[in-house]
Amino acid sequence: MHVTHLSLADFRSYARAEVALGPGVTTFVGPNGQGKTNLVEAVGYLASLGSHRVSSDAPLVRMGAPRAVVRAAVRQGDRQQLVELELNPGKANRARINRSSQVKPRDVLGILRTVLFAPEDLSLVKGDPGERRRFLDELVTARSPRMAGVRSDYDRVLKQRNSLLKSAVMARRHGGRDVDTSTLDVWDEHLARVGAELLGRRLELISALRPLADKAYERLAPGGGPVGLEYRGVPADGGRGEAGGDGGALHADADGAGAGAGVGGGFSPAELYDGLLGALRESRRAEMERGVTLVGPHRDDLVLKLGELPAKGYASHGESWSLALSLRLASYELLKSEGNEPVLVLDDVFAELDVQRRARLAELVVPGEQVLVTAAVPEDVPDVLAGARFTVAGGEVVPE
Ligand X SMILES: Nc1ncnc2c1ncn2[C@@H]1O[C@H](COP(=O)(O)OP(=O)(O)O)[C@@H](O)[C@H]1O
Residues near ligand X, by CB under 6 A: 12-13, 30, 32-38, 59, 61-63
Q: 55 contacts which partner out of Mg ion, ligand X, none, CB within 5 to 8 A by kind?
A: none
Residue nearest to ligand X (CB): 37
| 162 assigned binding-site residue | no
CA distance 116 to 325: 10
| 102 assigned binding-site residue | no
CA distance 25 to 10: 26
Which residue lies nearer to ligand X by CB, 8 or 327? 8
Q: Which residues contact 172 (CB under 8 A, 6 or more apart)?
A: 178, 288
Which residue lies nearer to ligand X by CB, 32 or 101? 32
Q: How far is the CB of 329 from Mg ion (least distance, A)?
A: 21
| 141 assigned binding-site residue | no
| 228 assigned binding-site residue | no
Residue from 27, 37, 283, 370 touching Mg ion (CB under 5 A): that is 37
Which residue lies nearer to ligand X by CB, 36 or 357? 36
Q: How far is the CB of 35 from ligand X (least distance, A)?
A: 4
Q: How far is the CB of 116 from ligand X (least distance, A)?
A: 13
Contact assessment for residue 318 and residue 122, using Cβ atoms and an 8 Å cutoff: no
- 3-state helix/strand/coil string of 325-374: HHHHHHHHHHHHHCCCCCEEEEECCHHHCCHHHHHHHHHHHCCCCEEEEE
What order do you get walking across the sheet with 309-310 strand by strand?
Answer: 227-232, 301-306, 309-310
Which residue lies nearer to Mg ion by CB, 36 or 161? 36
Q: 35 contacts which partner out of Mg ion, ligand X, none, CB within 5 to 8 A by kind?
A: ligand X
Q: 101 contacts which partner out of ligand X, Mg ion, none, CB within 5 to 8 A by kind?
A: none
| Residue 348 makes contact with Mg ion by CB under 5 A | yes
CA distance 342 to 112: 7
Q: How far is the CB of 21 from ligand X (least distance, A)?
A: 17
What Å distances lie between residue 240 and 233, 237, 249, 291, 390, CA to CA?
14, 6, 13, 29, 55
Q: How far is the CB of 64 from ligand X (least distance, A)?
A: 8
Half-sphere exposure of 53 (CA within 13 A, CB side): 16
Q: Which residues contact 215 (CB under 8 A, 6 or more apart)?
A: 330, 333
Q: 114 contacts which partner out of ligand X, Mg ion, none, CB within 5 to 8 A by kind?
A: none
Instruction: State the binding string over 136-175 for Mg ion (x if CB under 5 A, else -).
Output: ----------------------------------------
Residue nearest to Mg ion (CB): 37
Among 148, 136, 138, residue whose Cα is nearest residue 264: 136
Q: How far is the CB of 143 from ligand X (least distance, A)?
A: 28
Binders of Mg ion among 88-127, rule CB under 5 A? none
| Residue 41 makes contact with Mg ion by CB under 5 A | no
Alpha helices in the chain (DSSP H): 36-48, 122-126, 129-143, 147-173, 181-220, 269-290, 317-337, 355-365
Among 17, 16, 19, residue whose Cα is nearest residue 5: 19
Number of residues that bind Mg ion (CB under 5 A): 3
Q: 59 contacts which partner out of Mg ion, ligand X, none, CB within 5 to 8 A by kind?
A: ligand X
| 33 assigned binding-site residue | yes
CA distance 7 to 233: 42
Annotated binding site for ATP: 30-37
Residues that bind Mg ion (CB under 5 A): 36-37, 348
The binding site consists of 30-37
